[in-house]
Amino acid sequence: MTNVKTSIQLVIFVVFPMLIGGTIYVIARPTSIILFSWLNDLGLESFIISIRSVINANDFLNNWTIYNSPALFWSFSFTCFLGIIWNCNIDLESFSILLIPMCSGIVAEILQKTSVINGTFDIVDIRSYIIGGLLGIFIINHRTKIRVT
């Protein structure tokens, strides 16, 4: 029963958000990202480019959805995954682990601003990482409270 619950949690809080974020990347982000080199290596570029031209996601998705929401989904999914690994049990040790997604997102943005790594610094991305991480911690904490022991 615990395994079933864990699997459901993984699908809802980990896989599903990553699928949404990943789909936004594939259908709406410029092809200049590294992901497209990977898809090209897998021989999927024609398929993806065809889908992009059919869907024309940029016509109905706003900039926040395309450029910032994947950060939120990534941070949320990452935090929830770590929380599930730690059995939704929040103590000082696991809490510090749960801060890793949020902190790594913020550090990545700072490194982008200082041109240490490729990418465009965006303050909205930092907010998205924080909101996603806090939402993940809230979900994990909520799971702890309602958990039947």
* Binding region for other proteins (CB under 8 A): 18, 22, 25, 29, 31-38, 40, 43, 45-47, 49-50, 52-53, 70, 74, 77-78, 81-82, 85-87, 93-94, 97, 100-101, 104-105, 108, 117-120
How would you label 50-85 residue by residue, b for 16+ Cβ within 10 Å and e otherwise?
eebeeeebeeebeeeebbbbbbbbbbbbbbbbbbbe
CB of 49 to other proteins, least distance (A): 5
CB of 1 to other proteins, least distance (A): 20
Comparing CB distances to other proteins, the nearer of 5 and 45 is 45
CB of 36 to other proteins, least distance (A): 5
CA-CA-CA-CA torsion sign (25, 31, 37, 39) = positive
Residue with tokens 């999927």: 44
